[in-house]
Amino acid sequence: MRRTSRDIRTANRYEVLRHIIADSPLSRRELAQLTGLSQATVATLVTELLDLGLLTDVGFEDSEGGRPRGLLAVAAGRGALVGVDVAETYVHAELFDLSLKVVARADREVRPGENRPEQVVALIADAVDEVLAGHAGRVLGVGVALPGQVDREGGVSVYAPNWDWHDVPLRALLAERVDPPLHLDNPLHAGTVAELWSGAARGREDAVVVNLGTGVGAGLALGGGLYRGIGNSAGEWGHTTLVLDGRLCHCGNRGCVETYVGAPGIMLNLRELSPSSPLLHPDDQTATVRALAAAAAAGEPVAVQAVRDTARYLGAGIADLVNLLNPEVIVLSSWVTTYLGELLLGEVRTAVARHALRHSLARAEIVLSPIPTDPVCLGAATFALERALAPTPTMRRTP
């Protein structure tokens, strides 16, 4: 890929807006210092963002005797974004202002077996309707993250292993219920972009975002940007082999990482230790993971051992990422991390150290996602914001 001057300009727009979202108000001079861009470039980019209605002047600071400097902030109320996190067990929709703060939120449960495309579309549309119910202003876009492999240009769910979906034209189905522009992608990519804009990958050169949910995956932020692969399917770490000829996976393969560290895999780790454990809720992954976390935190030996076994598998899988990609930071995210992250972290670091090459290990921090809300909703909304910032006619200038 030969990057063009236009790509760089778009990237620089993102960069300026990211800094203002994180640290506003800022002067143009501060922006130049923070971004490393020239003051002239910053001035041009700021003018464009003001014209697009994304920024606003918020007064002046005294510059010690010199000319007072204009301060800039995000025009938070001048538009809204919706981000939707569709997972195997739930749909979360969040409404964001332009500073990427959550303004409203709606949740739906995806009950076991109720995952046909029309059922999932109805849940998404209901949740989006709910967050937009009290909103009067313009909506710049709706981002939807769907499990599995997604053709984002075509708006198609190519393959969702846990639902056995193949080539479902989800954007077209959704468009009957939700106003465009609609941006589809997968939760790996959404979670990774959230970490790049607002989380642990900010300012990092090479980062990996490990999503632990029903399915698992590794979003790749390489060279400071999301790495997608040739067919937008990079990151399927959950379907790499950890144990050749091991546990059977939904994907048809055996011994995939996902079968040991995804929520059903963690249930199996527990069941292997104690087939009749009262922590097991056979039809409810969330309840099981929550019960396991509570019991392990209370020191219950079987629960502690199940967490340890999970950490050992997870550490071996993360060491593969450290050795192959030599990243600066590995971020643990998604709902299983919310429940088990603190309990897993120490053991995972020990297990990674046992498997990874010393030189690569020395550069790799392993942290929990610092994003306090749902990172996938945030990332899906960020995709909508990125599309709005790209120099294409997806957004009209404000009058």
Q: How far is the CB of 210 from its own copies (least distance, A)?
A: 12
Residues 6+ apart with CB under 8 A from 354: 315, 319
Site string for its own copies, 363-392 (x = CB under 8 A): x-----------------------------
| Binding status of residue 155 toward its own copies by CB under 8 A | no
Residue 147 or 327 having the CB closest to its own copies: 327
Is 296 in contact with 266 (CB distance < 8 Å)? no
DSSP state letters, 84-137 = EEE-SSEEEEEEEETT--EEEEEEEE--TT---HHHHHHHHHHHHHHHHTT--S
- Which of 362, 372, 396, 397 contacts its own copies by CB under 8 A? 362
Total residues contacting its own copies (rule CB under 8 A)? 61
Is 257 in contact with 239 (CB distance < 8 Å)? yes
Span from 51-59, 68-76, 83-91, 218-226 in contact with its own copies (CB under 8 A)? 218-226
| Binding status of residue 80 toward its own copies by CB under 8 A | no
| Binding status of residue 224 toward its own copies by CB under 8 A | yes
- Which of 54, 242, 352, 378 contacts its own copies by CB under 8 A? 242
- Which of 53, 141, 147, 235 contacts its own copies by CB under 8 A? 235
| Binding status of residue 185 toward its own copies by CB under 8 A | no
Residue 181 or 224 having the CB closest to its own copies: 224
How far apart CA 164 and CA 149 sit, in angstroms, is 12
Beta bridge partners of 86: 91
Is 146 in contact with 214 (CB distance < 8 Å)? no
Largest CA distance in the chain: 75
- Which of 158, 270, 380, 388 contacts its own copies by CB under 8 A? 158
| Buried/exposed 141-162: b ≥16 CB within 10 Å, e otherwise | bbbbbbbbbbbbeebbbbbbbb
Residue 4 or 276 having the CB closest to its own copies: 4
Residue 44 or 241 having the CB closest to its own copies: 241
Q: How far is the CB of 15 from its own copies (least distance, A)?
A: 6
Span from 94-102, 243-251, 278-286, 300-308 in contact with its own copies (CB under 8 A)? 243-251
| Binding status of residue 6 toward its own copies by CB under 8 A | no
Q: How far is the CB of 200 from its own copies (least distance, A)?
A: 14
Residue identified by tokens 């059903």 is 264
How far apart CA 91 and CA 88 sit, in angstroms, is 8
- Which of 231, 275, 299, 399 contacts its own copies by CB under 8 A? 231
Residue 30 or 309 having the CB closest to its own copies: 309
Give the helix ranges, DSSP H, for 255-374: 258-261, 263-273, 285-297, 301-325, 335-355, 358-363
| Binding status of residue 241 toward its own copies by CB under 8 A | yes
Is 212 in contact with 334 (CB distance < 8 Å)? yes
Q: Binding to its own copies (CB under 8 A): which residues in 303-332? A: 313, 316-317, 319-320, 323-328
Residue 165 or 339 having the CB closest to its own copies: 165
| Binding status of residue 94 toward its own copies by CB under 8 A | no
List phi, psi (to 5°) of 332.
-90, 130
List phi, psi (to 5°) of 95.
-100, 130
Would you tell me how many other CB atoms lie within 10 Å of the CB of residue 111? 11
How far apart CA 368 and CA 370 sit, in angstroms, is 6
Q: How far is the CB of 276 from its own copies (least distance, A)?
A: 26
Is 388 in contact with 183 (CB distance < 8 Å)? no
Q: How far is the CB of 326 from its own copies (least distance, A)?
A: 3
Q: Tell me if residue 200 falls in helix, strand or coil.
A: coil
Residue identified by tokens 């995804």 is 262
Residue 348 or 395 having the CB closest to its own copies: 348
| Binding status of residue 290 toward its own copies by CB under 8 A | no
Residue 143 or 235 having the CB closest to its own copies: 235
Distances (CA, A) of 266 to 215, 250, 269, 307: 11, 15, 5, 8
How far apart CA 207 and CA 364 sit, in angstroms, is 9
Residue 359 or 396 having the CB closest to its own copies: 359
Residues lying near its own copies in the complex (CB under 8 A) are found at 1-5, 8, 11-12, 15, 35-36, 149, 158-159, 205-206, 218, 220, 222-225, 227-237, 239-244, 246, 251, 253, 313, 316-317, 319-320, 323-328, 354-355, 357-360, 362-363
